A and B are shown apart, each in its own frame.
Chain A
Amino acid sequence: MKDAVVIGAGLAGLTAALRLARAGKSVTLVTKGPGGLHLSQGTVDILGYAPDRVAAPLEAVGSLPAEHPHASVGAEAVGGAVSWLAAELGPDLLVGDPARNVNLPTAVGSIRPTALAQPSMMAGEVTGGKTFSVVGIKQIKDFPADLIAGNLARSTAPDGGALTARSAWIDLPARKGEADPTPLTYARAMDDEAFAATFAKAVAAVAGKADVVALPAVLGAKRLDVWRQVAELIGTDVCEIPMPPPSVPGIRLYDALLAKVRDAGVRFVQGSRITGFESDGDTVTSVTLAAAGGPRPLTARSFVFAPGGFESGAVDVDSKGGITEPVFGLPLTASDATPLIQSVYWGPHPLFEVGVRTDAAGRPTDAGGAVVHPNLYVAGGLIAGAERWREKSGDGVAVATAVRAADQITGGSR
């Protein structure tokens, strides 16, 4: 029997597993596939909009409604959790200050707030007077350099200043004869210093004079200093702009966290779903792994449930609108999707705030506030109360609730 089984290998599950292992607990991390980081932008958002642009996220967390997942954790703990993760991953992967947002350009040219970002992105911080040269790679279809530059140029920086941006393109195949590569193909090619040098030379030839050269986020999969090499060769600061999935910056975080989790002795089981659980009274005794040879119980003293939200199927809506959590059958904040589905695209979508209520320790509760299972903790996207993509809070919620769950299990001892 393990001290804990963690379900889910997104940012929440990986963080919980690492935190538990660091505290000396024996942990099994079980996941049906790579988690949501592959789909993310590879930054750690805490709170970007509330609903106006947020400059000081931890301060803003203090004024969130009580139902918000950040509110039950508290600003101080959110900041502590995010800082702990940043220290674990180190400045080659995450930099910034959880108390202050940076505004970074997106792959359509909007200006997006986040708390921590990868060092390769930071030179892109959008401040008044800055000149961007946005350089696309012809073979990469998710980095529309002209649209990005055009939108940046007609935007006002959050500090009120004007921006200058222009675009250019290079034609550089990562692999010969491949017309439709993914960003990952380029990122792997960049791990080779010679290819990165060729790339830098091509970019330098078209970029022109600018404060920063903005590039698709493909500057290395394993090698984390590609951006430095490229910047030095070009002679200008560079910034990576994250793209839609598959996300190279997200994969970097996933790879790094998973390596740390494994190094810390966590048993990692990938490829099978958790389909149910056994209990003794209210206490969960095991979860059921649908392994290749048949169902197998994974026993533990405590369980951290970090399966993600609607996007990962952790919350299900049936054809009649019934909303359920299929693994533990946990009580949710709503059971009927029908009145929550909005006909207007632009605006809040309350359906996606539906999830599990928790007590202050992160344990699921029913509508009356009673804890459902005393040794089951939830973390991340399953927790109700936030439309995380809209307010840019998903990573912060994941990290903060994962750390809370782990610390509850360890009694805060590390």
Chain B
Amino acid sequence: MKRLETDVVVIGGGSTGLGVVRDAAMRGYRAVLLERVDLGQGTTGRFHGLLHSGGRYVVSDPGSATECAEENAILRRIQADAVEDTGGFFVTLAGDDPAYADQFLEGAKATGVPAVEIPVAEALRREPRLDPRIQRAIEVQDGSVDGWQLVWGAARSAMNHGAKVLTYHRVTKIEREGDRVSAVMCRDEKNGEDVQIDCSFVLNCAGPWAGQIATMAGADPVAVIPGRGIMVAMNHRLVNTVINRCVYPTDGDILVPVHTVSVIGTTDVHETDPDHLPIPRAEVQQMLDAGEAMIPGFRKARALHAWSGSRPLIKDDRVSVEDTRHMSRGMAVIDHSKRDGLKGMLTIGGGKLTTYRLMAEHIVDAMNDQLGENRPCTTAEEPVPGSEDRKLYTVTHRLGEREEDRLDDPIICECELMSRSMFVELLHEQPNATLDDLRRQLRLGMGPCQGGFCAARAAGLACSEQVADSERATGLLRLFLKHRWIGIWPILYGQQVRQTALDHWIFAGTLDVEHLPQPEEEIVR
């Protein structure tokens, strides 16, 4: 067994965990983050991509609205490469109550969320696909944010400050000595090795899985209620501005332009198991109807992919940390010393990606209090690696980057303009990664053909670059195709049926991937 020693172990490689490990490391704690799979593979990678202006909460949750507005401005400063300044509209659709917009504007004023009503004609000029029957339009400072860029930016920053970020490390047990947490036991899944990490504090940031983690420390069960929502990515940027429906928050009321697509979301359905989140067809239909209400003809547009994410809602009011007045209702911190008599562990739930940095600040503050330390938070000031120039992401950035090397460097994924050198560089940096892990950072296979042309190239490169033998490279290809399908079959209609048939002609017809020799055990990571 391998043994490490640190001050604090952070469990969970989503935005919360990465925010926390970065914050702790910047305050001088020795910190290790454990993630059972890859970073951003849970809730952080399964949302609609909205960087909230706060507008959505000005009426329903004023505290969250103010937090969002402040954090929105901070993330634009410190994680510019993950944020696109799309701007946003709240529009009153035909049939919606136009009086809500007045409530909205009042709420915005009260919460400090910048919002200006603009003439309908101006909104239609800027977003000509909007239903021309809209009654009112309010402009806000929404953006879109790439959850994976966000967590990897935070991860690189944390590592620069001395933290360790260990992916594919599954926590198996949290050891205690008397009434204190003493170590976290985990399994290094890639190397098949057990690891013990001695520590004095554990921060449980496992989101929808936080209940399972708390139980491993012998704490009373924490009730996590995964609130599942589905999203559908459409092939084009049907809009270039985030479109919100100007109503009290409901299902299917946001359309977000992210990278080269636009994402419609979302639903909210209680689930029991965060590892099994369906994408029900009825909910897909609900999203298409919602899209149609904002953008006439939406159903004729091409849907590329659907996914399902889980809000990490924790329902446990028994004991929380003393000072929650700065925390919005969605955020919950469970102090296990009061709740379970277990010192050295906090569990965090709720929250939003937009406010992930602030959540981390609160949690590490709470840890400071328990440890009797006074180390101030500095995460709002320092840009993460890659965002030092504070230049916001633009949708054309890859075209710009390819301009220089376009005659020297072949494109492996044409849909997303991913060059061979981009892929090979990351492949060597993360030789244990699956093609999906690389996809989350490079967008491999996320465009219209959904991997039809690039997947076999990627597997071939993994083999040629000697990070995988032919058996593993084949397993990676099979795994990638299987995973892509999870998000394709629920939206299989229109032009995507045609694309799927072409992809089948390539993989089954020409390449006969199905009849490649199978490894004894299917490669799953």
Contact = CB atoms under 8 A, between A and B. Distances in A.
A312 to B, nearest CB: 7
Contact of B464 (A146, A349, A388): A146
B497 A108 contact: no
Interface residues of A, number: 62
Contacts of A352: 501, 504
A144 B494 CA distance: 32
Interface in A316-335: 316-321
A394 B501 contact: no
A147 B497 contact: no
Contact of B489 (A53, A154, A343): A343
A331 B453 CA distance: 33
Contact of B510 (A141, A244, A313): A244
B508 A147 contact: no
Interface in B428-466: 453, 456-457, 459-461, 463-464
Contacts of B409: 179-180
Nearest to A156: B517
Interface of A is mostly: loop
B325 to A, nearest CB: 46
B121 interface: no
Interface stretch (B37-45, B238-246, B469-477): B469-477
B410 A180 contact: yes
Interface in B76-125: none
A318 to B, nearest CB: 6
B506 A390 contact: no
Interface string B228-264: 0000000000000000000000000000000000000
- In this complex, the member of A144, A151, A154, A349 whose beta carbon has the largest number of chain B beta carbons within 10 angstroms is A144
Given A154-B517, A318-B494, A144 B456 contact: yes
Interface of B is mostly: helix
Contacts of A320: 285, 493
A150 B463 contact: yes
A153 B515 contact: no
B407 interface: yes
A155 B514 CA distance: 13
B3 interface: no
A156 to B, nearest CB: 8
B407 A154 contact: no
Size category of the binding interface on chain B = 35 or more
A179 B459 contact: no
A113 B73 CA distance: 60
Contacts of B504: 349, 352, 389-390
B515 A311 contact: no
Nearest to A154: B517
B445 to A, nearest CB: 14
Contacts of A107: 456, 510-511
B411 interface: yes
A157 to B, nearest CB: 11
B456 A244 contact: yes
A311 B517 contact: no
A108 B513 contact: yes
Contacts of A96: none
A270 interface: no
Contacts of A109: 470, 516
Nearest to A389: B509
18 contacts: A53-B515, A108-B512, A110-B513, A111-B515, A144-B463, A145-B464, A147-B463, A147-B464, A149-B470, A150-B469, A150-B470, A155-B517, A310-B497, A310-B498, A311-B502, A319-B299, A320-B493, A346-B482
